[in-house]
């Protein structure tokens, strides 16, 4: 008995050994350069208070600046008092509200699809879509820079996964040509890639999908409210919304809340309602969040000037970086990555910007190669020209000091 206890204890020690050996983050913390989990104590849209000091928020996905819109706050408050703080169950059982169905109908109409399904998170939407729809023997083709939730959805599915080099549609074509299974195929891409800011080539992807009989799935997490004539996303940006078979997305960016969705033909949505495990076994989106998203979706359509301001701010910031001599890659959206280079320089640059009152997001390995570390910036419609200029001044001063420019 004593031997069994000792073996059990040794097994537990082995399980936790990797935790004790993980010292990287603590070393960065000790150096005063740790950039993550910074608690915000107050938010004023483009300004946040962290550790008692105000910072220009240049690292948010709040593209249209709707988190503080009075109509969004009013709708969320009313729903909180009418329905309570949560649904305490999944949509499949006791957690469906009329608000959920209203939001699904509004999303389907806005996106030009027959139906939509609301998930509790954007991560869960892609997880549930891909794992729920792909059966054994079928194949999923992913861009190598697809978001983690797309990759994890493919892992959770019973299908086979093939990954093509980022934006390399010749590589995708070669992979599809090798597929002789005769089974279903799905191509999944981000509409806008969140660390690069580039846009998926929907026209060419559509041609490839049609040639091989594959379903084309686009994650419009960073596209909704940003791209398209009315903010409908990547497909609409190219005038090809009907060529995108399934649109997935999140409410945690332009729609200023949390949650996600899938929009497609009614038969696809009906199937997912009964086969998507992340949908069936997750508590439903809380009432206040659902009502807030409904209001934000309406504001998105009623106030197109916000999108105009967003793009003006994106141009202002991108042009400013280029004029200073920074490398910002192939970005074509309000996501603007600033290439710094080495890991240590990136963390030092982040810290100096932070101390200067500018909040950014460092992107380091394994997300990027060790020599291509960067600071990810993104603008909102509500940033003022003065705030952008202040941020650019700080970037320029620190860039010259560190020898980046």
Query: Of 60, 157, 194, 284, which is the active-site residue?
Result: 194
Give the span between the Cα atoms of 232 and 223, in whole angstroms.
8
- How many angstroms from the chain centroid is the CA of residue 206? 22
Answer positive or negative: Cα dihedral of 299, 305, 308, 312: negative
Active site residue 78: no
Among 388, 46, 114, residue whose Cα is nearest residue 262: 114
The answer to whether 336 and 377 have CB atoms below 8 angstroms apart is yes
Rounded alpha-carbon distances, angstroms, from residue 154 to 134, 148, 162, 276: 8, 10, 10, 13
Give 40's DSSP letter.
E
Rounded alpha-carbon distances, angstroms, from residue 60 to 232, 247, 381, 403: 20, 23, 11, 27
DSSP letter string, 272-317: HHHH-HHHHTSBPPPHHHHHHHHHHHHHHHH-THHHHHHHHHHHHH
- How many angstroms from the chain centroid is the CA of residue 129? 16
Query: Of 69, 222, 237, 352, which is the active-site residue?
Result: 222
Active site residue 18: no
Answer positive or negative: Cα dihedral of 159, 161, 162, 167: positive
Query: CA dihedral in degrees (102, 105, 109, 113; nearest 10)?
Result: 160
Query: Of 253, 254, 309, 352, which is the active-site residue?
Result: 253
Peptide bond into 366 cis (omega under 30): yes
3-state SS assignment for residue 164: strand
Active site residue 253: yes
Rounded alpha-carbon distances, angstroms, from residue 246 to 38, 114, 150, 269, 283: 36, 11, 13, 10, 23
List active site positions.
194, 222, 253
């Amino acid at each position: 008995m004593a031997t069994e206890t000792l073996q059990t204890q040794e097994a537990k020690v082995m399980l936790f050994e990797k935790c004790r050996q993980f010292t990287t983050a603590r070393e960065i913390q000790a150096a005063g350069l740790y950039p993550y989990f910074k608690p915000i104590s107050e938010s004023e849209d483009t300004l946040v208070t962290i550790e008692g000091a105000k910072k220009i928020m240049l690292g948010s996905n709040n593209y249209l600046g709707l988190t503080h819109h009075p109509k969004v706050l009013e709708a969320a408050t009313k729903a909180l008092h009418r329905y309570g703080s949560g649904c305490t169950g999944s949509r499949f059982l006791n957690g469906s509200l009329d608000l959920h169905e209203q939001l699904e109908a509004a999303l389907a109409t806005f996106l030009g699809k027959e139906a939509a399904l609301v998930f509790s998170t954007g991560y869960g939407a892609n997880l549930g879509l891909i794992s729920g729809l792909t059966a054994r023997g079928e194949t999923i083709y992913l861009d190598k820079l697809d978001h983690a939730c797309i990759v994890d959805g493919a892992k959770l599915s019973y299908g086979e996964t093939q990954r093509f080099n980022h934006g390399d549609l010749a590589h995708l074509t070669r992979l599809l040509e090798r597929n002789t299974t005769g089974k279903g195929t799905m191509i999944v891409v981000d509409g806008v890639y969140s660390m690069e800011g580039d846009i998926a080539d929907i026209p060419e992807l559509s041609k490839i999908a049609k040639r091989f009989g594959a379903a084309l799935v686009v994650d419009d997490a960073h596209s909704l409210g940003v791209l398209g004539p009315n903010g409908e996303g990547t497909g609409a940006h190219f005038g090809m919304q009907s060529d995108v078979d399934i649109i997935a997305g999140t409410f945690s960016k332009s729609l200023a809340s949390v949650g996600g969705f899938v929009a497609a033909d009614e038969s696809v949505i009906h199937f997912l309602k009964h086969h998507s495990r992340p949908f069936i076994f997750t508590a439903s989106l809380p009432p206040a969040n659902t009502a807030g998203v409904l209001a934000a979706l309406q504001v998105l359509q009623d106030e197109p000037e916000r999108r105009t301001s967003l793009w003006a701010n994106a141009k202002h910031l991108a042009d400013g970086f280029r004029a200073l001599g920074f490398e910002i890659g192939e970005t074509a959206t309000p996501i603007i990555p600033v290439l710094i280079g080495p890991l240590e320089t990136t963390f030092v640059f982040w810290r100096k910007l932070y101390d200067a009152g500018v909040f950014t997001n460092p992107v380091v390995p394994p997300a990027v190669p060790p020599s291509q570390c960067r600071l990810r910036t993104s603008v909102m419609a509500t940033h003022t020209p003065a705030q952008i200029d202040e941020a650019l001044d700080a970037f320029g001063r620190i860039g010259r000091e560190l020898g980046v420019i």
